[in-house]
Amino acid sequence: MTVKAARLISDAEVIAYHSARHGRSVARAVAAPYLRDGQIEEALVYPVTTETTRHPGGYQGAIDEFYEDCARRLAAHLDAGRDVVVLCEGDPFFYGSYMHMHKRLAHRYPTEVVPGVTSVSAASAVLGRPLVEREETLTVLPGTLPPDTLAARMADPGSLAVLKLGRTFPAVRDALARAGRLDEAWYVERATSDRQRIAPLADVDPTEVPYFSLALIPSRAGASFPTPTPASGEAVSHGAGQGETKRCEPGPVPAGHVRHGEGEWRGAAPGSGERAGQGDAARGEVAVVGLGPAGRAWLTPEAQDVLARADDLVGYGPYLDRVPPNPRQRRHPSDNRVEAERAAHALELARAGSRVAVVSSGDPGVFAMAAAVLEVACEPRFAEVPVRVVPGLTAAQAVAARAGAPLGHDYCVLSLSDRLKPWDVIAARLTAAARADLVIAIYNPASRARRWQVEAARDLLLEHRAPDTPVVVGRDVGGPAENVHVTTLNKLDVNGIDMRCLLLIGSSMTRHTTRTSGPTVYTPRRYPAE
């Protein structure tokens, strides 16, 4: 980072930066040492990255609308007389995100663009090889070009840089081979960062290529320079860079722009750094992670980061299937009825030095794996194994949000499963909750082998609740088979209820109304005085 950029960042009143929906921004991480308390941060989070969109204008329409909204947000600060700094990895006008703000704002407000170090320059520096010399030329290509176009342009003599690798890597490698230049090419990943990796491109495993990487053929005149030593054995970090930094936008992001200018410009030779994460991995830990009810949109950034950094993933098979495969990680699926054994296995892995993520649907502390892991972790043999719980969005919250605000006042959470506690305890707690006039969130209402409990619970609640008490039935919320409907306690049909359902039983104050947007259920925050 330049001295001027650091000064402007420290002085600015507003700091803006782009990120994918996970919320983490490489540009902000670079600038973090120069931020100060009291600055306004505008996180410009892309509505889509590689996924599809329901926007009526398609992908381009969603992105154009996003940039217009970003410009409007920044213009509000500028109109109020506040200086705004927009962060951008590398150089703002070299495949940078900022250019889309520039097009929309530069003609209206005084604007200054501060140049930065590009990924190509950083890659050349860590290789220790010149880019160009004398009359040589440098060609820069995005890896997203058609394979035939790539091969044709690569055949021209001169230095070459290919950005935007990631999933384009196999096509880029094939094009280099067709152009007869594969043996000249170097692979550089996250140049100048503490997770930097370099290697002859021909030796790189295509499954281990993140977006922030590039292919480089440096100056032929520099062939007499010492051959760079590949960082053998250096771990390639997945998740924290792979997939999360693949932004799809009108102006593509440069592949190698990772943490340039952090102020750490170490001069050590490539490969001299300690293996990424080596110190942490040697200690090992267990993180019990909540996946939320379904899908990436329901996953917290913290949970996403923990999953990305894990060496081993442990959990009930269908829940593990919700975590995208990563060839670097080992997966340990098991049956849903072996919680203690699963917890012990995870703790053993961590005791051996592995970073282990134990996955749960929803929140791991609500009828899930956190309690099981901690119970086993309290055994003397696991006393030194760190265990932490990473929260997730639980099903009661997800279903309630779809319906409105039925949990707006006091409520309780109960499980109807009598596998781990007797039915008379469940019945007593249901009765107590009903008498206390609490909204009740019912988990695990029924399964294939356990059908009668939900009907018994309904009949028991009817002894203390009015027949027209609103009941929200949510099934597979966030998933492809999502269904949320509202009924009443006396009309609750138990036949379609299974383990993928959650029930919200209203209190005497819960209201069910129909607005223009559809049925709405809410429980007022005020309770009438006696």
Residue 275's pLDDT band (cuts 50, 70, 90): very low
Q: How many CA atoms lie within 13 A of 201 on its CB side?
A: 27
Q: Is the pLDDT of residue 394 over 80?
A: yes
Phi and psi for 354 in degrees, rounded to 5?
-90, 150
Residue 102's pLDDT band (cuts 50, 70, 90): very high
Domains of the chain and any CATH numbers: 3-105 (3.40.1010.10), 119-222 (3.30.950.10), 280-392 (3.40.1010.10), 396-522 (3.30.950.10)
Looking up tokens 């990120």 gives 19
Query: Tens of pLDDT along 201-225?
Result: 999 999 989 888 999 999 987 565 5
Nearest to 243 by CA among 307, 179, 335: 307
Whole-number Å distance between alpha carbons of 452 and 445: 9
Q: Is the pLDDT of residue 282 over 70?
A: no
Residue 109's pLDDT band (cuts 50, 70, 90): very high
Per-residue pLDDT averaged across 456-478, rounded? 92
Phi and psi for 119 in degrees, rounded to 5?
-60, -35
Per-residue pLDDT averaged across 448-470, rounded? 90
Residue 263's pLDDT band (cuts 50, 70, 90): very low
Q: Is the pLDDT of residue 410 over 90?
A: yes
Q: Is the pLDDT of residue 265 over 60?
A: no
Q: 3-state DSSP call for residue 245? A: coil
Whole-number Å distance between alpha carbons of 210 and 141: 17
Whole-number Å distance between alpha carbons of 498 and 226: 66
Measured CA angle at 69 (ends 65, 74), to 5 deg: 150
Nearest to 312 by CA among 335, 289, 293, 290: 289
Whole-number Å distance between alpha carbons of 368 and 361: 8
pLDDT at residue 305, rounded to an integer: 76
- Cα 412 to its chain centre, rounded Å, is 30
Whole-number Å distance between alpha carbons of 85 and 343: 47
Whole-number Å distance between alpha carbons of 313 and 315: 7
pLDDT at residue 522, rounded to an integer: 93
Counting Cβ atoms within 10 Å, is residue 463 exposed (0-12), middle (13-18) or buried (19+)?
exposed
Q: How far is CA 513 from CA 203, 390, 471, in A?
A: 64, 36, 13
Residue 278's pLDDT band (cuts 50, 70, 90): very low
Whole-number Å distance between alpha carbons of 450 and 416: 10
Phi and psi for 307 in degrees, rounded to 5?
-65, -40
Q: What is the residue-averaged pLDDT of the chain?
A: 84
Q: Is the pLDDT of residue 281 over 60?
A: no
pLDDT at residue 371, rounded to an integer: 94
Q: Is the pLDDT of residue 231 over 80?
A: no
Phi and psi for 206 in degrees, rounded to 5?
-60, -25
The larger pLDDT score, comparing residue 418 to residue 286, is at 286
Q: 3-state DSSP call for residue 345? A: helix
pLDDT at residue 224, rounded to an integer: 56
pLDDT at residue 530, rounded to an integer: 55
Q: Is the pLDDT of residue 279 over 80?
A: no
Q: 3-state DSSP call for residue 476? A: coil
Nearest to 350 by CA among 388, 321, 305, 300: 388
Q: What is the DSSP secondary structure assignment for residue 292, as one 8-state letter?
A: B
**Least-confidence region, from 111-125, 326-340, 404-418:** 326-340
pLDDT at residue 130, rounded to an integer: 93
Residue 516's pLDDT band (cuts 50, 70, 90): confident
Counting Cβ atoms within 10 Å, is residue 433 exposed (0-12), middle (13-18) or buried (19+)?
buried
Q: Which amino acid is at 185?
A: A
**Least-confidence region, from 57-66, 127-136, 322-331, 457-466:** 322-331
Q: Which amino acid is at 293?
A: P
Whole-number Å distance between alpha carbons of 432 and 464: 10
Q: Is the pLDDT of residue 238 over 80?
A: no
- The answer to whether 95 and 250 have CB atoms below 8 angstroms apart is no
The larger pLDDT score, comparing residue 308 to residue 56, is at 56
Counting Cβ atoms within 10 Å, is residue 293 exposed (0-12), middle (13-18) or buried (19+)?
buried
- pTM value > 0.85: no
pLDDT at residue 6, rounded to an integer: 94
All residues at 6 or more sequence positions from 34 whose CB lies less than 8 Å from its CB, including other chains: 1, 6, 9, 10
Counting Cβ atoms within 10 Å, is residue 199 exposed (0-12), middle (13-18) or buried (19+)?
buried
pLDDT at residue 245, rounded to an integer: 26
